[in-house]
Structure 1
Amino acid sequence: MPEPPEPRFVMSPDGLRIATYAFGDPLADPVLLVHGFASSAHANWNLTGWIRDLERAGRRVVAVDLRGHGASDKPHHPESYSMDLLAADLFAVCDTYLLDEVAYAGYSLGGRVGWHATHLQPERFPRAVLGGIPDGTPLTRFRIDLAREHAATGAPIDDRITAAYVQMAGQTPGNDLLALVDLVEGMRPGPQPTAQNAPSIPLLLATGSEDGILEASQRLAAAAPRAEFFEIPGRNHFNAPTSRDFREAAIRFLS
């Protein structure tokens, strides 16, 4: 896979630099790509073939490193990671790139932010693919206390789920574990996906057949007025973005 281009930075409403990456014909129909927790635009979308296949399908791609990730700024304050601020970053990206309407594709954290953003401003997003999101509070089993102690002292983590996320965070170059822990703490009290705040636009929700949140994701799709559901065969939460079946289903839906 090609290396990503140098990021183009967009200023967030609260003064942070948000890294973005543009691919394809600037005049083609655009797609906004938003990655998952502890990942990046390059890891989630470039290395897995999504950007290549979207370009082949004739789409312009704008990919984002969420605050706290990739080349974007990484503040060490939980209050810097509210769901409203995460969504506002995406609106700023759309405004900077002059995207009046843009299709949306997000995975895990990016899907959760997409649920909120497309609910707040449905006129911007004609349709959206939201992968790997359940109803309810995110990362409920992530032990913030254990992750903070590990980051500060290197203490081992005896909680399997927390250890898996911390290990994943360490595999992406440039990650800042303390910033990611602040993100989890900051976004937990905010609005969570429910039937009451379901986006009104057409949605494709997708979750791996081996993912523990599968049934919760199916419930969430049933709660949205214009949602379809796609079960990603043979994939869990961590490797679902690599699925060709998922990519093809998403591109068909966005087309």
Structure 2
Amino acid sequence: MDLGLKDKVAVITGGSVGIGLAIAEGLAAEGAHVVLAARQAERVTVEAERIETEFGVRALGVSCDVAGVDGIRELVDQTRATFGGADILINNAGTGSNETIMEAPDEKWQAYWDLHVMAAVRLARGFVPMMRQRGGGVILHNASICALQPLWYEPIYNVTKAALMMFSKTLAEEVIKDNIRVNTVNPGLVLTPDWIKTAKQLTAGKGGDWQGYLDGVAHENASIKRFSSPEEMANFFVFLCSNKATYSVGSAYYVDGGMLKTV
């Protein structure tokens, strides 16, 4: 199936690991050129070089922090200088939290607001004009099932991801006239390096059965009784970027193995 992605230019934040890296690989496999943005310079450079070699596309690694204005500027400028613009933007950078509302300081709320919400706002301001010049584009936001079904131990994550989903809906209304489609994907449990790291930490003093811990999380929360792989999640993102999803505008898709317990 031709997804119409050959020679498109896709920017993926949080692109050097986990879901972001899997999305970059999925798009590259369809012939798209990719810009990987991440904070760790060595890792993002290595992964960009590997993708170029493995998939025969152009790949650029940009070391930047999209939670700040300077990082956004660096990503936009390097993309423009290397490719002349972008057709696809995947706002994927993000991380979980752990706090209570009563105890979390303002600084922590602000840091997550900058990473999950303002990064998307600023990236839209940077890349939408390029997409207009190229005749249209696609913007996808990686939010979370927690945007609708919150987890008790990460209220800041829940709130900022819900705000990201509303921003995505609002942006979709504003830019569809420019042939730019905006949608949100809300993953459930995805087996990223962060989940494995956390499981190992939590089980270090209890026998070290981190796989058993993750199996328990999956059985408790997901009807499918397992985690998604990053590649499974990436497949959905790639489809939404393609010319097979051209009537999808302003929607939020739950790709969660049955974790969402409402209609």
TM-score by length of 2: 0.41
Normalized per residue, which structure has more helix? 2
Tell me which structure has the larger Cα radius of gyration.
2
